[in-house]
Amino acid sequence: MKKYDYLIVGSGLFGSTFAYKAKQAGKSCLVIDKRKHRGGNIYCEEIEGINVHKYGAHIFHTSNKEVWDFVNSIVEFNRYTNSPIANYNGKLYNLPFNMNTFYQMWGVTTPQQAKEKIEKQKAAAIESMKNSGITEPRNLEEQAISLIGTDIYETLIKGYTEKQWGRKCTELPAFIIKRLPVRFVYDNNYFNDKYQGIPIGGYNRLINGLLDGIEVKTDEDFFKNRQYWESIAKKIIFTGKIDEFYGYQFGKLEYRTVRFEEEIHDCSNYQGNAVVNYTEKEVPYTRIIEHKHFEMFGVEVDNCPKTVISKEYSTEWKEGMEPYYPVNDEKNNLLYNKYQKLAEKENNVIFGGRLAEYKYYDMAPVIERVLKLSL
């Protein structure tokens, strides 16, 4: 007899949501996590009365009412709207690309003026490629310029992207930028989704609500005692690296990772916004997150006398680092497909999440996928 219906490896959003759903269905679960805390990459730590996103900014957004109602049934979400700013050599630009951006870039004030400026630069770029015998963009740089023109590419895309990927834009595949969102309205809301916010009190409240009444063991590495863990449950929900699950038998998948430098400042407001991207290549970090702005608004910001910021440095993943972003180029996708074929033959293992499925996931689609799973 197995002690549990499900062993859930990983207490991030996929694992915690699955555990909640299984408990609601009357199933017995054990959740294990190799970290010393619950929550995976959405874990927060309270510092100076501020919920600090320890693994980078997480902003929940969705147009799926079922998902939004589900998370709000666990914890109420606030009205945070993601409106990042780009800093290029000390000059600020609104993101995503919209009429505010175009006014800051060129001084244009009407959609028609902005469209004419962009179309003129796009046409020049495409003509230049044709004259060089290039019929289709061969790399990210050519793709981006053909979509948005040179000014925005050079100012807001090139340096940031090269820092993020650790290689020149001319060395990155064109498909990374299939399209660029451009709005000819004065709207700084980064997401188009109907619902958006942060859990009031931080993401730990969401995870603790999902795992309420469920047995959880942290600081437990599945691979250090694999035979035992596999023996105690009828099925395994695995949210770790799929290549590691199969002993790297076809080789190791590649990732990008992020290093964080956290600073506490003796001021109530460091940069006036939650997210500021630094788009010139000479600044080594990609962005600065000021965590209090996710949950504090108006006078609340000034009433909290200190602030916490995180500088983010993107780097190539190596063994021992946290894997963040799958490198979904042709080589890695072909390798993942080999592991996926093995996974499809499993009767007692369900793979879920960005590491197990080797793809970038926003939070809402993770929950949506779990809600659709059959127990």
Catalytic amino acids? 179, 183, 256, 287, 312, 360, 362
- Residue position matching structure tokens 């009429």: 99
> H-type helices in 253-362, by residue range?
299-303, 330-344
Q: What is the DSSP letter of 188?
A: -
Closest to 275 (Cα-Cα) out of 50, 85, 41, 7: 85
SS3 57: coil
Joined together, the tokens standing for residue 101 give 């951006």
In the chain, the largest separation of any two C-alpha atoms, in whole Å, equals: 72
Cβ neighbour number for residue 153 with a 10 Å cutoff? 24
What is the number of alpha carbons within 13 Å of residue 182 lying toward its C-beta? 17
> H-type helices in 236-329, by residue range?
242-245, 299-303
Cβ neighbour number for residue 274 with a 10 Å cutoff? 24
Q: What kind and span of H or E run contains 101?
A: helix 99-106
Q: What is the DSSP letter of 323?
A: P
Q: What kind and span of H or E run contains 152?
A: helix 150-152
- Whole-angstrom Cα Rg for the chain: 22
CB 319 within 8 A of CB 243: no
Joined together, the tokens standing for residue 14 give 């996929």
Joined together, the tokens standing for residue 66 give 């079922």
Question: Which residues, other chains included, contact 212 with Cβ-Cβ below 8 Å and sequence gap of 6+?
Answer: none
Phi, psi of 167 (to 5 degrees): -155, 160
Phi, psi of 206 (to 5 degrees): -65, -50
In one-letter notation, the amino acid at residue 112 is Q
Phi, psi of 24 (to 5 degrees): -60, -30
